[in-house]
Amino acid sequence: MSRWIENALTTNPLLDASGVAKNYGAVAALRNASLSVLPGEVHALMGANGAGKSTLVKILTGAIQADAGRVLIRGEARDVRSPAAARRAGLLPVYQEPALIPDLDVLSNLRLTGTPVEPFRAWVRELGIPNLDIRETARDIPLAVLRVLDLACALAVEPDVLLLDEMTAALPANLAEKVLEVVRRQGDSGRSVIFISHRFVEISALCDRATVLRDGATVGVVDIEPGVEEKIVEMMLGARIEKVSVAAARVASQAAAAQDSRPRLVVRNLQLGTKLNDVSFDLANGEVAGVVALEGQGQDELFAALAGSIRPGGGTIAVDGSPVQFSHPSDAIQAGIAYVPGDRTEALAMQRSVRENIALPFSAALRKWGPIRVRREHMVVSSAIARLQIDTRAQSEVQRLSGGNQQKVTIARWIAADARTILCFDPTRGIDVGTKQEIYKLLRELAGLGKSVLFYTSELEEVQRVCDRVIVIFGGRVVDTLPVELADEPALMRAAYGLPRGAREDVGFLADVRPASDAEAAP
Amino acid sequence: MTSTATMPQPASFGRRLKRFMADRPLIPLIILLVILVLILQVLRPGIVNERWIANTAKFAIPLAILAGCQTMTMLTSGIDLSVGTVATMSAFIMATQIVNQDPTVAFILAMLPAVLIGLVNGIGVGVFRVHPLIMTLGTSLIGTGFLQVYQRTVIASGARIPDFLNWLGTGLTYGFPNALFLFVPVAVLIVFTLNRTGFGRLLYAVGDNERAARLSGVRYWQVITALYVISSLLAGITGLLYIGLIKAPSLSLAEPLVLPSVAAAVIGGTSIFGGRGGYTGTIVGALILTVLTTLLTILHMPEGGRRILFGFIVLFVTAAYLRIIEDR
């Protein structure tokens, strides 16, 4: 740590980006982001979902071009127009997705990128993989090892600035430790590392400073020291800590739920690959249960397993008290569980009409393949359209509808089909405020009718508007279940980062050793 | 550019016309058909009469039914190249079995390979996810091979065209071809299935977005298996009709219809990428191709020149038509 302090006093930053902005249409992904990395520094880049981390990374590595702002590398203005240009400038990223071409062996991959082989081998050994066969096809290599190989590739070309995106995700504990060790030494040897992670434990052990992004702007640069995580969480939340009043409608539905004591859905010890380690929770009738997690903590897999899209590797799911095994989404639908995916293009037949899209589940079963009862279907569909107030002016093709209306169609489908449980995966992502309000209201109404909703959201403030309870997932485990009264944004943010409840009063998280609940303790 | 700037009136009329045609894709097709018939009438005054119309319909109908198979499979972003072989098999088996068998038994024997090939196609595409192009091409080759083996066993007994198929294939009733007795119900059934049944809706849904269909509880393999069996059955029936028209059983009877059947569906506005199209357009497409063939025949061109021209016209018509109806 001392080296970077010396450098801070004597040297100019190795990488200095300021005023970076990027718009996608009317949406500002970045407004005013800055990042300054000193030589020999390990610098954390932090921010909640959608704060603009990935956009900034893409701009720095030349994958996309900024609309405004300037990037200085070693004090020189550089216009990084492509990943190759970033590489020449000494900036090398390692992304979450493996970068090796699956159908080539490791050696061919190295040749393709012009990576020197001997240093690569040395780094691979250093990173804890003693016997790698570089003739092996990348496809046959396990994911965790591939990620380490990506890192070794990057290290072998000796970049000035190494950019690591969630480097330790999907790594077993022994490999993760080696990686952290190597990254640490990278800093000591005078090179810089930009380290993106959701894990405070790693950041505290590794990083010198952290830049915090919120809503597309840099809101602060802090030195990592004991107790700083509270400060970072506050920065990520900004001024949004005002309380949202808990809706009164909730009391009624909770009373209804209390009458029917048997839970609608019981999930126990659900496990799936490396993504879901141990998820258990109940979902009651008449309840909206929120799910909060940072990106890639296993929530996608949880919803897919409950919807019957993928089969879990272990654990049990019980519906109304009887255990079930879904091998196809139609099994889940049979059990009254419907899934509304976050990506609308996944759920809609874009060239077909609004009515056909809503009525699609009616025809799915083999015995429903015959003539359609046009009038009855028209009635059911019309009432669903009216209920959700879908704008049907452009109803002949769903693709002509606005995003909000498309999202309403995906939900209306299951209102029409009268599903008893709806799994909503981030249904309000990228839609207008008015439609968001309507969806909140609708979900509450459904709960009032005794239906149950599992509601994943990436916008924490939605939790107190919609949910009765919130389940927090981190590293493929349920790390906390909060009643809605306690689930304000700071509490959720802390929980989502795996910090214990009420950490504010603790001496400081950084004083702890790695806790047992951490994801790396997986078998 | 300058014309649109100085005279906005005709431009907006053009756009309105385009919009009108985009909403009713059948209209430009019918206009094209009428233009072709008019050209024919100009080149050979008097050729377009009752007899010519009946004759054109007779040859267009088998093509239109096979194009129906392509339309339905193309809606799911598939294709059925085995229709030619299936039609040939059922025709050949019918003509050879009728010699010694009861007509009902002969009919059942003739339709058996159709069902089998359809089932294999459906399971291959729906369960094992073989690409429809390869799957149906494969079963088509296998079917042709079996037919050659089968031919050796029936050389001694000879072949005969059943009277009923003669009547259906070439006969006229009050000037209308009898084939319409088969075609009208089949066409109505296909149109009804596509527009008013759950199965038809699933064909569009699966072709438009298979993942969305799956999330709605649709089991892909069921839809696809049923689809290819239906397609094969239609092809088998077409074979019986076609042998009544051609009257000469051979091992490549219906093969020449395969690619025109795909062309008819494409000209008729069905997208090979799935999810968009319908059968009424296909019927007009089959008529257009048939009239075009007549037109090129009376030009007394050599066969090679005819084919070159035919290919160019099909390409041009399809490209122009897609530009018109996909204007948004």
Tokens, residue A239:
């001024």
Residues from chain A contacting residue B196 (CB–CB below 8 Å): 371-372, 374
Q: Note the pLDDT of residue A516.
A: 41
Residue, of A108 and A404, whose pLDDT is higher: A108
| Interface pTM, i.e. ipTM | 0.85
Quick one: B153 exposed, middle or buried, by C-beta within 10 A (0-12, 13-18, 19+)? exposed
Quick one: B154 exposed, middle or buried, by C-beta within 10 A (0-12, 13-18, 19+)? middle
Domain span at residue A55?
2-237
Considering A367, A393, A417, which residue would you say is the last residue of a domain? A417
In a shared domain, residues A209 and A261? no
Q: Which of residues 222-261 of B touch A (CB under 8 A)?
A: 222, 226
Q: For residue A281, which of A66, A473, A426 has the smallest C-alpha distance?
A: A473
pLDDT tens digits for range A173-218:
788 888 888 988 888 888 899 998 877 888 888 899 999 998 889 9
Considering A206, A237, A268, which residue would you say is the last residue of a domain? A237
In a shared domain, residues A124 and A227? yes
Domain-located, residue B37: no
Tokens, residue A492:
């959720």
Is the separation of the CB atoms in A388 and A411 below 8 Å? Answer: yes
Residues from chain A contacting residue B222 (CB–CB below 8 Å): 366
Q: Note the pLDDT of residue A502.
A: 60
Domain-located, residue A498: no
Strand partners, A474: A477
Mutate to test the interface with A, among B77, B202, B216, B230 (most CBs of A within 10 A): B216
Lowest mean pLDDT among A157-171, A368-382, A501-515, B167-181: A501-515
In a shared domain, residues A165 and A184? yes
Q: How distant is the alpha carbon of residue A370 from its chain centre?
A: 42
Lowest mean pLDDT among A177-186, A427-436, B173-182: A427-436
Q: Note the pLDDT of residue A9.
A: 53
In a shared domain, residues A123 and A203? yes
Q: Is the pLDDT of residue A172 over 80?
A: no
CA distance B220 to B41: 49
Average pLDDT, stretch A324-331?
94
B277 reaches A (C-beta below 8 A): no
β-pairing verdict for A477-483 and A469-474: antiparallel
Tokens, residue A144:
């965790």
Mean pLDDT computed over every residue of chain A: 84
In a shared domain, residues A84 and A174? yes
Is the separation of the CB atoms in A462 and A495 below 8 Å? Answer: no
B22 reaches A (C-beta below 8 A): no
Lowest mean pLDDT among A38-52, A249-263, B272-286: A249-263
Taken in order A74, A78, A83, A89, the sign of the CA dihedral is negative
How many residues are listed for chain A in this entry?
A: 523
How many Å lie between the alpha carbon of B149 and the closest alpha carbon of chain A? 38
Amino acid found at B261 = S
Q: Do B201 and A361 touch (CB under 8 A)?
A: no
pLDDT tens digits for range B278-312:
999 999 999 999 999 888 888 887 888 888 988 88
A353 reaches B (C-beta below 8 A): no
- Count of structural domains, chain A: 3
In a shared domain, residues A431 and A386? no
Is the separation of the CB atoms in B129 and B251 below 8 Å? Answer: no
Domain-located, residue A518: no
In a shared domain, residues A265 and A199? no
B100 reaches A (C-beta below 8 A): no
How many Å lie between the alpha carbon of A369 and the closest alpha carbon of chain B? 4
Domain-located, residue A469: yes
Q: Is the pLDDT of residue A357 over 90?
A: yes
Residues from chain B contacting residue A364 (CB–CB below 8 Å): 202, 213, 216-219
Angle between helix axes B179-196 and B198-208 (nearest 10 degrees) is 70
pLDDT tens digits for range A25-40:
667 788 899 999 998 8
Domain-located, residue A208: yes
Q: Is the pLDDT of residue B30 over 50?
A: yes
Q: Is the pLDDT of residue A3 over 70?
A: no
Tokens, residue A177:
């430790």
Q: Note the pLDDT of residue B199.
A: 96
CATH at residue B318 = 1.10.3470
What A506-509 contacts at long range (C-beta under 8 Å, 24+ apart), as own/partner pairs, is A507/A226, A507/A227, A508/A226, A508/A227, A508/A229, A509/A200, A509/A201, A509/A204, A509/A227, A509/A229
Domain-located, residue B290: yes
Amino acid found at A436 = K
Backbone angles phi, psi at A27, to 5 degrees: -90, 130
Residues from chain A contacting residue B226 (CB–CB below 8 Å): 369
Domain-located, residue B49: no
Count residue pairs from A and B with Cβ separation < 8 A. Answer: 89
Q: Note the pLDDT of residue A326.
A: 93
H or E segment at A518?
A: none
pTM: 0.79
B188 reaches A (C-beta below 8 A): no
Q: Note the pLDDT of residue A511.
A: 41
Q: Which of residues 54-73 of A touch B (CB under 8 A)?
A: none
Q: Note the pLDDT of residue B326.
A: 67
Domain-located, residue A266: yes
Q: Say which residues have a Cβ less than 8 Å from residue B63's Cβ, sequence separation at least 6.
A: B257, B260, B261, B264, B286, B289, B290
β-pairing verdict for A91-94 and A314-319: unpaired
In a shared domain, residues A200 and A256? no
A346 reaches B (C-beta below 8 A): yes
Average pLDDT, stretch B109-133?
96
Taken in order A307, A308, A312, A318, the sign of the CA dihedral is positive
**Max mean pLDDT range (A215-219, A319-323, B60-64):** B60-64
B220 reaches A (C-beta below 8 A): no
Q: Is the pLDDT of residue B258 over 70?
A: yes
B276 reaches A (C-beta below 8 A): yes
Q: Note the pLDDT of residue A267.
A: 93
A248 reaches B (C-beta below 8 A): no
Question: 3-state DSSP call for residue A241?
Answer: coil
CA distance B240 to A394: 45
CATH at residue A151 = 3.40.50.300
Q: Count of H helices and E strands in chain A?
A: 19, 20
Domain-located, residue B71: yes
CA distance A447 to A468: 10
Residues from chain A contacting residue B214 (CB–CB below 8 Å): 309, 328-329
Domain-located, residue B88: yes
Q: Do A369 and B202 touch (CB under 8 A)?
A: yes
DSSP annotation of A105: B
Residues from chain B contacting residue A372 (CB–CB below 8 Å): 196-198, 201
A375 reaches B (C-beta below 8 A): no
Q: Count of H helices and E strands in chain B?
A: 15, 2
Lowest mean pLDDT among A443-447, A488-492, A516-520, B252-256: A516-520
B204 reaches A (C-beta below 8 A): yes
What single string gives the DSSP state of each residue in A401-446? Answer: S-HHHHHHHHHHHHHHTT-SEEEEESTTTT--HHHHHHHHHHHHHH
Domain-located, residue B176: yes
* Partner residue opposite B215 with nearest CB, options A339, A371, A372: A339
B200 — pLDDT class (breaks 50, 70, 90): very high
* Partner residue opposite A368 with nearest CB, options B198, B208, B215: B198
How many Å lie between the alpha carbon of A315 and the closest alpha carbon of chain B? 23
Q: Note the pLDDT of residue A271.
A: 92
Domain-located, residue B108: yes
In a shared domain, residues A269 and A181? no
Q: Note the pLDDT of residue B128.
A: 96
In a shared domain, residues A41 and A126? yes
Q: Note the pLDDT of residue B46.
A: 85
Average pLDDT, stretch A213-230?
87
Is the separation of the CB atoms in A278 and A271 below 8 Å? Answer: yes
In a shared domain, residues A409 and A431? no
Considering A388, A417, A446, which residue would you say is the last residue of a domain? A417
- Count of structural domains, chain B: 1
Q: In terms of CA atoms, which chain B residue is nearest residue A306?
A: B215
Q: Note the pLDDT of residue A507.
A: 39
In a shared domain, residues A208 and A331? no
A309 reaches B (C-beta below 8 A): yes
Domain span at residue B215?
54-325
